[in-house]
Structure 1
Amino acid sequence: VAGTRGFARADGARFTVGGRPFYPNGFNAYWLMYMASNPGDRSKVLDTLDQASRVGATIIRTWAFNDGGSNRPLQITPGVYSEEVFVGLDFVVAEAKKRGLYLILSLTNNWGDFGGKRQYVQWAKEQGHNLGSDDDFFTDRLTQRFYMNHIKRVLTRVNNFTGVAYKDEPTIFAWELMNEPRVPSDLFGKTMQAWVALMSSYVKSIDDKHMVEIGLEGFYGDTAPERRRFNPGGSYSAGTDFIGNNRIPTVDFATIHSYPDQWVPGSTSEQQVEFMKKWMASHIEDAAAALRKPLLVAEFGWKSSGNAAVAARDDYLRMVYDAIYASVKGGGPCAGGLFWQVMAPGMESWADGYEVVLERSSTTAAVVSQECARIGGITP
C-alpha cells in the first residue's frame, strides 16, 4: 500500500516510487474534504475510494481548500480555520492511505468555486488594500501572505487519524499550487512566472519530501511562440506559459487539462477529438524535449447524457488512454491520466455533465479498469 510504498518522486521524465517507475492513473473528486467534514456524508467518500480501488486506480486529485463563504469553509477568514473541515481532510488522507491510493492536493482555485483567488482579493480589500481585479491575487503582498499562510497551515497540519504531518505523509503524491491558474491581465506571462517561482519554492522551504506542480491547463506562451498554434483558437494563452512556467526548478512535473467542448465552441465531436490528440501530442513532445519532466493529463472529460453520449464518452476516454499508454510504452514522459470527475450516488445536485458514478456506469468503469490494468502491468 502507499503508506508503505513511500514517496513518489520525479526522476528525469518519469515518476518513481521506491526507485521503480510508477504510472499513476485515476480521477478527480474535488469534493472529498467537503463531504468528509460531515460524518453523515462520509459514506460517499468511502464509496468513492472503494470504487477507485475496485477499478485499480492509484491516484485521486482533490481540493485542500475551501476559502471563505458559508458552506463548510476550511479557511473561514485569513488564518482562521474550521477544525471540523480540517478533520474532513484528515479523514480523506487517512482513508486513501488505508487503500494505498495517492492524492494530489490542490491548494486554491483560479475560479470562484470554493473561494479561490477572488476570495483572497476580497479579504485583502476588507483590510484596506485597493485591488482592482481578481488577478491582483498574484501580485499583492497581502494576498500573497494570506495564501502562503494557507500553504504553511496545510503542510504542517498533523492528521488527527494518523498522527502524521501532511508534509511527512507519503500518501500525498504532490502539492498543486492552484487549480487552473490564469492571469488574463498579463498576457506577457511575467506575473505568472514570478508567482510560480515564489510559491513553488515556498512549498519546498517547508516540505522537501513532496513534488510540486502548478495546476496548469497547458496553454503555450512566449517561451515557445511557435507552439501557440496548438492553443484553443490558435492563440489563446491566459497569461500562462506551459514551457516557461514548468521549467522553474522547484516545479517537479507538468500537467495539462483539456475541454475541447468548451475551448473550441461550435466544434463537432470529431473536431474535439482531433484537438485533444494534437494537444496531447504537442505537450508530450515538449515534456520530453523542452522540460525533461513527467507529464500528467490531470483533467479530461466528456459531457454525457443518455446512452449515445456515454458511448462517446467511453470512446473519448479510450482515445486519451491509448495516447498515454503509447507514451509509457515508448519510454515517454506522459505517465498517467485523471479524468474529470467521479461522484458518489446521492450527489445528483452536484452534477456538471462530466460526472461519472462508477457503480452506475459499468461501461465507463470497464474502460477505466482496463487502462489501470494495462498501465499497472508495465510497472516492474
Structure 2
Amino acid sequence: MKTWGVILLVFLLKIQEKTVKGGEDEFIKRKGIQFWLNGSPFYSNGFNAYWLMYEGSEPSERLKVSTSFEEASKHGLTIARTWAFSDGGNRPLQYSPGYYNEQMFQGLDFVVSEAKKYGIKLVLSLVNNYDDYGGKKQYVEWAKSKGQSLSSEDDFFTNPLVKGFFKNHIKTVLTRVNSMNGVAYKDDTTIMAWELMNEPRCPSDLSGKVLQEWITEMASYVKSIDANHLLEVGLEGFYGDDKKQYNPNNTKVGTDFIANNQIPGVDFATVHSYPDQWLSGSTGEVQLSFLQHWVQQHILDSLNILKKPVIFAEFGKSYKVSGYTSFDRNQLYNITYSSIYSSANEGGPAAGGLFWHLIAEGMDNFRDGYEIEIGEKSDIVGIILEQSQKLSRLRKKYTRKMLG
C-alpha cells in the first residue's frame, strides 16, 4: 500500500507540474465563464506580435521570433496573438484566391513550432478589417477582377464569391500540415484559438444585421472543420443600440458586443481598449476614467449576459499621441491588469490581457508608439511581469485546491 501511495503522489505531482507550466497535451477548453487546461482554470498574460509570420518567413530574421518568445516566456507571458493572413501585396501568404506562398506558410509553421518550444499558446487571426496586409479590401478587389460588380469593401461580408474565397482561406489554414513537426494546425494544441477577423466593422450597416449573419455563417464553417479549438470574432467591444451609451462618444461600427458573442460557435469574447485614439483631445484623466468603466462593463456583461470568458485582446497607449505621459501609460496597464486579476481571483470571466504590441531588438520599422521591447528594463516591463506572476500564482492556487 505504501508503494501505491508513493506512485499516486508522484503521479499527482507530475499533473500539477504539467498544469502549472501550461501543459502540452490538451486543447484549452471553455467551461462556463472560464478557460480550462489540463484540469484547472487557465488564466494568462499575453501579447500581440502581428509580425511573427512575416519575420519567420525569412530564415535570416527568425532569431527575432525565437528571441521574442524566449523573452516573453521569461516574463511569464504565455499567449501570443498574431496574423495568419497576408493577402496580396508585398510578401503575401495568399497572393491570389486559393494560391499560396509556401515560403510564407513555412514562416507560420516556424512560429507555431517555436511557440510550442517556449510554452506559448497562439491566437491566430484569419483576415484584416483594414487594408494592411490586404484585408477585406483585397478580397473585394479579387472578386471585382473576376467580374463581380461590387462598390464597397463591406461587400466582403455579403458577396457569395468573396465569402467563398474566405472560406477557402479558413480551410487552407486550419488543415495546413506544419512542415516542421508534421502536425495539422487543427490538431495542434499550441494553438489556443482562431479569430475570424481583426476588428471587424461594417459601417454600411449600423443595424448590425450584416455582421451578425456573417459571423454566424463563418463560425459554423470553422467549427465544421475544427471542433477542437476555441473561436472568437476579433471584436473591439463596441455595443449595438441597446448599450451604445457605453461606447466612446456613442460610436457605432456595425458590431454588437452582446449579440455577436452569443452566436453559437463563438467561445469567448474579446475587447480592445484605445482611449487615446477614441477620445483624442481629451485629458489623460478622462481617458483613464473611460477605460475603467469600459473594462468593468465588459466583465459584467461577460459574466451576467454572455456567460463566457473574456480576453482584453488589445490595449495600449502611444507615445506618438499628443498629451502622452509614461505615468498615464502605466496607469492604463495597471487599470486593465487589476480589473482582470480581480475578476479572475473571484472566479469571474476575465481570463487575460494581451498588450499591443511586442517587438524585438532591431525592429525599428515596426515601431508605432505602442511597442514594448520586453527585454528592456523599464517600469512598464515590470508591470507586465508582475501581472504574469500574479496570474501564475492564482493558477497554482486553483491547482493545489483541486489536488487537495
User: TM-score, normalising length from structure 2?
Assistant: 0.91
Matches within 5 A, 1:166-205: 166-205=185-224
Q: Give 3-state SS (helix, strand or coil) of 2:129's partner.
A: coil
Q: Distance in 2 between matches of 1:291 and 1:333?
A: 10
Aligned residue number for residue 137 of structure 1: 156
Aligned residue number for residue 91 of structure 2: 72
Q: Does 1:259 align with 2:279?
A: no
Q: What are the Cα deviations for residues 134-177 of structure 1, in whole angstroms up to 9, with x where unaligned? A: 00000000110000000000000000111100000000000000
Flag the structure with larger Rg.
Answer: 2
The answer (yes or no) to whether the contact 2:47–2:354 under 8 Å persists in 1 is yes
The answer (yes or no) to whether the contact 1:2–1:170 under 8 Å persists in 2 is no
Aligned residue number for residue 369 of structure 1: 385
Q: Distance in 2 between matches of 1:52 and 1:295?
A: 22
Aligned residue number for residue 75 of structure 2: 55
Aligned residue number for residue 330 of structure 2: 314
| Counterpart residue identity of residue 104, structure 2 | V
Aligned residue number for residue 278 of structure 1: 293
Q: Distance in 2 between matches of 1:335 and 1:181?
A: 22
Q: Give 3-state SS (helix, strand or coil) of 1:250's partner.
A: coil
Q: Distance in 2 between matches of 1:258 and 1:48?
A: 23
Matches within 5 A, 1:214-229: 214-222=233-241, 225=242, 227-229=243-245
Q: Give 3-state SS (helix, strand or coil) of 1:4's partner.
A: coil
C-alpha displacement at 1:345, in angstroms? Answer: 1.1
Q: Distance in 2 between matches of 1:79 and 1:196?
A: 21
Q: Give 3-state SS (helix, strand or coil) of 1:252's partner.
A: coil
Aligned residue number for residue 330 of structure 1: 346
The answer (yes or no) to whether the contact 1:74–1:86 under 8 Å persists in 2 is yes
The answer (yes or no) to whether the contact 2:291–2:332 under 8 Å persists in 1 is no
Gaps of 5+ in 2: 1-20, 400-404
Q: Distance in 2 between matches of 1:361 and 1:230?
A: 36
Q: Does 1:287 align with 2:306?
A: no
C-alpha displacement at 1:305, in angstroms? Answer: 6.3
Q: What are the Cα deviations for residues 33-52 of structure 1, in whole angstroms up to 9, with x where unaligned? A: 00000011111111110111
Query: How many residues are aligned here?
Result: 374
Q: 1:350 aligns with which of 348, 366, 370?
A: 366
Q: Distance in 2 between matches of 1:322 and 1:295?
A: 15
The answer (yes or no) to whether the contact 1:61–1:104 under 8 Å persists in 2 is yes
CA RMSD, Structure 1 to Structure 2 (Å):
1.3
| Counterpart residue identity of residue 84, structure 2 | A
The answer (yes or no) to whether the contact 2:288–2:331 under 8 Å persists in 1 is no
Q: Give 3-state SS (helix, strand or coil) of 1:299's partner.
A: strand
Q: Distance in 2 between matches of 1:300 and 1:116?
A: 21
**Cα–Cα, structure 1 residues 113 and 361, in superposed 2: closer, same or farther, change >3 Å?**
farther
Q: Give 3-state SS (helix, strand or coil) of 1:360's partner.
A: coil
Q: 1:43 aligns with which of 49, 60, 63?
A: 63
Aligned residue number for residue 181 of structure 2: 162
Q: Distance in 1 between matches of 2:325 and 2:369?
A: 11
**Cα–Cα, structure 1 residues 266 and 253, in superposed 2: closer, same or farther, change >3 Å?**
same
The answer (yes or no) to whether the contact 1:14–1:293 under 8 Å persists in 2 is yes
Aligned residue number for residue 120 of structure 1: 139
Q: What are the Cα deviations for residues 328-361 of structure 1, in whole angstroms up to 9, with x where unaligned? A: 1122111110000011111112211001111234
The answer (yes or no) to whether the contact 1:3–1:97 under 8 Å persists in 2 is no
Q: Distance in 2 between matches of 1:19 and 1:54?
A: 24
Q: Distance in 2 between matches of 1:2 and 1:175?
A: 19
Q: Give 3-state SS (helix, strand or coil) of 2:359's partner.
A: coil
C-alpha displacement at 1:313, in angstroms? Answer: 1.9
Aligned residue number for residue 150 of structure 1: 169
User: TM-score, normalising length from structure 1?
Assistant: 0.96
| Counterpart residue identity of residue 357, structure 2 | Q
Matches within 5 A, 1:102-121: 102-121=121-140
Q: Distance in 2 between matches of 1:122 and 1:104?
A: 27
Matches within 5 A, 1:5-44: 5-44=25-64
Q: Distance in 1 between matches of 2:239 and 2:83?
A: 25
C-alpha displacement at 1:319, in angstroms? Answer: 1.6
| Counterpart residue identity of residue 360, structure 1 | E
C-alpha displacement at 1:18, in angstroms? Answer: 1.8
C-alpha displacement at 1:26, in angstroms? Answer: 0.7
Q: What are the Cα deviations for residues 248-306 of structure 1, in whole angstroms up to 9, with x where unaligned? A: 11100000001111111211111111111111111111001110000000000011269
C-alpha displacement at 1:362, in angstroms? Answer: 2.6
C-alpha displacement at 1:318, in angstroms? Answer: 1.4
Q: Give 3-state SS (helix, strand or coil) of 1:244's partner.
A: helix
Aligned residue number for residue 378 of structure 1: 394
Q: What are the Cα deviations for residues 25-78 of structure 1, in whole angstroms up to 9, with x where unaligned? A: 111000000000001111111111011101001100000000001x21000100
C-alpha displacement at 1:187, in angstroms? Answer: 0.5
Q: Distance in 2 between matches of 1:177 and 1:253?
A: 12
Gaps of 5+ in 1: none
Percent sequence identity over matched residues? 53
* Structure 1 consecutive aligned stretches of length 4 or more whose deviation exceeds 6 Å: none
Matches within 5 A, 1:214-253: 214-222=233-241, 225=242, 227-233=243-249, 235-253=250-268
Q: Distance in 2 between matches of 1:378 and 1:302?
A: 27
Q: Give 3-state SS (helix, strand or coil) of 1:72's partner.
A: coil
